[in-house]
Structure 1
C-alpha cells in the first residue's frame, strides 16, 4: 500500500510512451491523486490549462514539442510542481530542463514509488497561510522575503519565483550568514529522503541569482561559500 500521498490533488502526466504513462497514472491514482494523461506536448499544455494541476510529470523527449518547450510554456500560466523525466542519463538534459522552471527530475528507469514519494514531499511544503505582518518579512537591503505570503520584492517590485525557487531562498533567508551545504538545503526544501544529484541546488540558486540580478562574482544576496555551499547575507 502506498503512503504519504495527498488526497484530492490533481496530477498531469505528459508522456508519449503509453505503457509508462499508464504505469505512472496507476501509482498516482493509488496514492489518491486525480490523474489525467497527455501523450504529446500540445495536448499536455491544453490539459494543463483545463485541469489546473497541482503537479506535472513531464517527459523530456516528447515528439514535436519537447519537454523543455512544454515546461517553458507551462511556466507562463501555471505554478504547478513540475518533475522532468528523461530517458537519457545526461547532466545537460537535466540542467536544461531545470533552467526553464522544473522543480525536480528523474532518470528512467525509476520506481513509481519514488515518484509518488517525491511528489508527496513537494506537496507537504507550506503554501500561503494568511496575512503577513511587518515582523514576518525578512529584508536584505532592497530585497524583501515574505515567508507567510510567499512573496518576494526587489526595490519594491515583485519578483516572480517558482515554488521551489522561493523555498530555496526562504531557507537561506531564515538563517542569514549561516552557511548551508547542498545536503542541508536538499533536506530543507526537498526533504530528508530525497535521493539524487545534489547539484540540483546549484541550478536553482543560479536561477534565483538571475531573477534577483545577483552577480555570483560580486553577490549582494546569495554568497557561495567555497567547499560548503551557500549563505544569505553580505560578505564579511
Structure 2
C-alpha cells in the first residue's frame, strides 16, 4: 500500500469527498494541514495539493519549492484544465503531474499507482543495493516505500530508519561514527547527536534483528559507533 498526503488549503467538505474517492486497496490517503506538510512529508510516498482557488498559486508554489528542497517525494497538483499557465509554473517548479478535477478519480488513482509501481521496479532493477553475508542473509533496499526485504520478508521502516541502514550499507563492514551517521541521515546540525542516533538504531534493531538485545546485523563498535555486518 502507498500512502498519499492530501494537503488541505481550504476548509471545504468537498475535499473529504475527493479524499474518500481516492482511497483504495493500494492507496491510503491522509488529509494533512498545509502548515504540517513539510514536517510530515517523510510519512508519505506522494503528496497531492488541490489548487481549489486560482488565488492559491503562490502558496502552492511555496509548498512545491519547500518540498523539493527536502525530499524527492512525488507531487501532484489538482488544477482546472483552463488554468494552463498555472500548470506550466507548477511543473517547472518540480511537480510530477497535474490532475484535472473533472477527471474520473479512478484514472487519478491508476496514474499514481502506476507511477509508484514503475519507480519501485526501477529501484529494484537499477539502484537497489543488495548484500549477502556468509550466512546467506540477503538485504534489499526499497526506496519507493522506505522498506527493506530481508530473506524474502518485507519490513517497513520510517524515512530516517531507511536512510540510516542505507548509509550503513554503503559502509558495509566498516565502523562509522555517530557524527557520520547523523550528518548523512539528518543533514543538519543539532544537539544530542549521539542520543538521537542511538535511539534511531534501537528502533531499527527492533525491526530487523531477531534478538535486538544481541544484534547480528547492526553491531556496536565501542567508542566509535556502528557497523553493518550483513
TM tier relative to shorter chain: 0.3 to 0.5
Higher helix share: 2
The structure with the larger Rg is 2
| TM-score, normalised via structure 1 length | 0.46
